[in-house]
Amino acid sequence: MQLTDSLGRNINYLRLSVTDRCNMRCFYCMPKEGIAKKEHAAVLSYEELLLIAETAIGLGIEKIRITGGEPLVRAGIVGFLEKLTSIPGLHHLALTTNGLLLAEMAADLHTAGVQRLNVSLDSLRSATFAEITRGGDLKRVLAGLDAAERAGFPPPKINCVIMAGVNDAEILDFAAFTRERGNSIRFIEYMPVVKEEGWQRYCISGEEILRRIAARYPLEPVDKGAFAGPSRDFRIPSARGTIGIITAVSGHFCSECNRIRVTSTGQAKGCLFCDDRTDLVPYLRPPDREGLAAVLRQIVAAKPERHHITREGYGHRNFTMSQVGG
């Protein structure tokens, strides 16, 4: 079964957020005071999340990425992942984490059947890391990366949001990481979602990031594998890890977009940056499988052609990535 939108894009990837809570406070992701916590009843139960996953897989979704908030802070996450991996038709289960709890949980995640981990890591310097995350402990994340490999995962892919004047001096250090450790790095353009005062000063394009790396290292393009994301990937010759850029802002890749998103409160979105969202709760409480399948098909059919985040005067309803899951 294939799920195709009105422009012929094959939609086979669901990003499913299991919580909006997070044990970090990255300044570009959420306001300092945090975000108002959702009432317990507003957050979907694991049964409800499984019903969404099962229905989406029945329609043609093949890959699910579990996200948050921070997915590892939700109690019972490992048992939920075990149930998810037993759904026939799910070919690829990945999880995105900030890595703080990975050292303790990597072995259980591997046993549960998670195939890949992405770890968000924006600095390799303790002080900068603590500044960006408002208090995060870099050592714990690095210990988490090691634990993931010991548990049997391939080296986690690292997602790194580069911001001018904050961590752009580390671009080459991250590039060197792909040679030393074998983790692949994906540089993500900073997106103005919180719109903190003076956000424009942080913007640095993926092309500029690549230019700086290419000035120091030779780079060879890398072919994308199945389920590869929207990054353009390169490799320093003989490095085990790759270097990718995700230019969501400067050069949108909407024509290749294969994903839909569901938040932890059951709001489905066909596009990260578009305001349209569809409430799935009426199809979950009580469960209505047919209604849910029909509404998911509608969301895919109505998936916008592209986002307009960079258009002059464009204003979307404020949201934080922690609510949608990135």
C-alpha distances (whole Å) from 302 to each of 30, 87, 253 are 29, 27, 18
Question: Least Å distance between CB 282 and ligand SAM?
Answer: 26
Report the helix count and the strand count for the chain, using DSSP H and E. 9, 12
Could you tell me the two tokens for 54? 């099962």
Binds ligand SAM (CB under 6 A): choice among 3, 11, 18, 22: 22
Binds ligand SAM (CB under 6 A): choice among 5, 70, 170, 233: 70
C-alpha distances (whole Å) from 90 to each of 13, 85, 153, 303 are 10, 7, 18, 22
Is residue 206 near ligand SAM by the rule CB under 6 A? no
| Number of residues forming the site for ligand SAM (CB under 6 A) | 20
On whether the CB atoms of residues 120 and 97 are closer than 8 A, the answer is yes
Q: Is 55 strand, coil or helix?
A: helix
Question: Least Å distance between CB 45 and ligand SAM?
Answer: 20
Give the residue among 260, 255, 272, 264 at the shortest CA–CA distance from 299. Answer: 260
158 versus 300: smaller Cβ distance to ligand SAM = 158
Q: CA angle, corner 161, sides to 34 and 174, nearest 5?
A: 135
Binds ligand SAM (CB under 6 A): choice among 55, 96, 123, 133: 96
Binds ligand SAM (CB under 6 A): choice among 103, 109, 193, 300: 193
Only one of the segments 67-75, 101-109, 150-158, 233-241 lies at the binding site for ligand SAM (rule: CB under 6 A); that segment is 67-75
Question: Least Å distance between CB 248 and ligand SAM?
Answer: 7
Place of tokens 């002059």: 312
H or E element in which residue 197 lies:
none
Is residue 28 near ligand SAM by the rule CB under 6 A? yes
Q: For the window 108-127, what string marks contact with ligand SAM as x by the rule CB under 6 A? A: ------------x-------
Strands (E), the chain: 13-17, 63-67, 92-97, 116-120, 157-162, 185-189, 220-221, 232-235, 243-246, 259-262, 267-269, 278-279
Question: Least Å distance between CB 324 and ligand SAM?
Answer: 7
Question: Least Å distance between CB 235 and ligand SAM?
Answer: 21
Binds ligand SAM (CB under 6 A): choice among 14, 29, 109, 112: 29
59 versus 188: smaller Cβ distance to ligand SAM = 188
On whether the CB atoms of residues 3 and 12 are closer than 8 A, the answer is yes
Which of positions 118-177 make contact with ligand SAM (CB under 6 A)? 120, 159, 161
103 versus 292: smaller Cβ distance to ligand SAM = 103
Give the gyration radius of the chain's Cα atoms.
19
Q: Which residues contact 38 (CB under 8 A, 6 or more apart)?
A: 20, 264, 265
Binds ligand SAM (CB under 6 A): choice among 11, 148, 191, 260: 191
Is residue 321 near ligand SAM by the rule CB under 6 A? yes
Is residue 264 near ligand SAM by the rule CB under 6 A? no
Question: Least Å distance between CB 291 and ligand SAM?
Answer: 29
Could you tell me the two tokens for 299? 């969301």
State the DSSP code for 125.
S
Is residue 263 near ligand SAM by the rule CB under 6 A? no
Beta-bridge partner residues of 279: 267
Residues contributing to the site for ligand SAM (CB under 6 A): 22, 28-29, 67-68, 70, 96-98, 120, 159, 161, 188, 190-191, 193, 321-322, 325-326
